[in-house]
Amino acid sequence: INNFTFYLSGKMFTFPQQTNTAHVRLNTTREDFSAVTVCLRSFTDLSRNHVLFSLATPSAANDFLLFKRAAANQIEISARNVGALFDGQEYTLNTWLSVCATWDSTSGLGQLWLNGKPSSRKFTSTGSNIRGRAIITLGQEQDSHGGGFDANQSLVGMISDVHMWDYVLSNCEIHRYMDNLNFTPGNVLNWRALDFQIRGRVLLEEKQAICY
């Protein structure tokens, strides 16, 4: 296991096979969040359940979770172990998708953005912050703090441009992220200065560009 801090613009993590081991751990020293925004880009051909982003603390395995359900176009956001299901947005296979998820503890509302389109705002959990030593994983969904992986929930595909903020990003900033414009990088996780560990068969590769 090696620790890296890299400027990853133009790169992607490739998860080439279904396992219950291979993942990327993203490191942060932050231990208290009253609000969260996570944005990332993903690419897969999976039609089964699969994880996009998993943050666990000792008190909650799904303290902040972004999870694609097997049912077409259903994505779940969980905060403090309480989930809300978002339906009807086009989760297209075999193409890059831009995904952002927001939550704040005061209102308890979560919202999903997919390729620039917002969802309805839905209640998840309110009244308590995400608190404790956070373990964040890509490629595997945590059912316990740092573990409990299930191959049938793993990601097979690619992930890029991961950012996390400790506040709810404005609509305009989310659109700037989705449109690849100049946006304020994450102040918790920043793809341009990411502290991470690769565990198992995960590749750090150049992101494939479309050539015309």
For every one of its 212 residues, what pLDDT tens digit does the chain have, with 9 covering 90 and above?
Answer: 556 677 898 999 999 999 999 999 999 999 999 999 999 999 999 999 999 999 999 999 999 999 999 998 999 999 999 999 999 999 999 999 999 999 999 999 999 999 999 999 999 988 789 999 999 999 999 999 999 999 999 999 999 999 999 999 999 999 999 998 899 999 999 999 999 999 999 999 999 877 76
Number of domains in the chain: 1
Give the Cα separation of 12 and 66 in Å (integer).
Answer: 18
Q: How far apart are CA 102 and CA 34, in angstroms?
A: 11
Query: Does some domain include residue 5?
Result: no
At residue 4, the pLDDT reads: 64
Indicate the pairing of strand 3-6 with strand 194-199. antiparallel
Q: Indicate the pTM of the whole model.
A: 0.95
Could you tell me if 62 and 83 are in contact, meaning their C-beta atoms sit under 8 angstroms apart?
yes
- Residue 158 in any domain: the answer is yes
**CATH code of 125's domain:** 2.60.120.200
Residues near 160 by beta carbon (within 8 Å), at least 6 away in sequence: 8, 11, 12, 13, 40, 41, 42, 96, 191, 207
211 assigned to some structural domain = no
Give the pLDDT confidence score for residue 126 in this predicted structure: 84
Q: Which domain holds residue 53?
A: 11-203
Structural domain includes residue 208: no
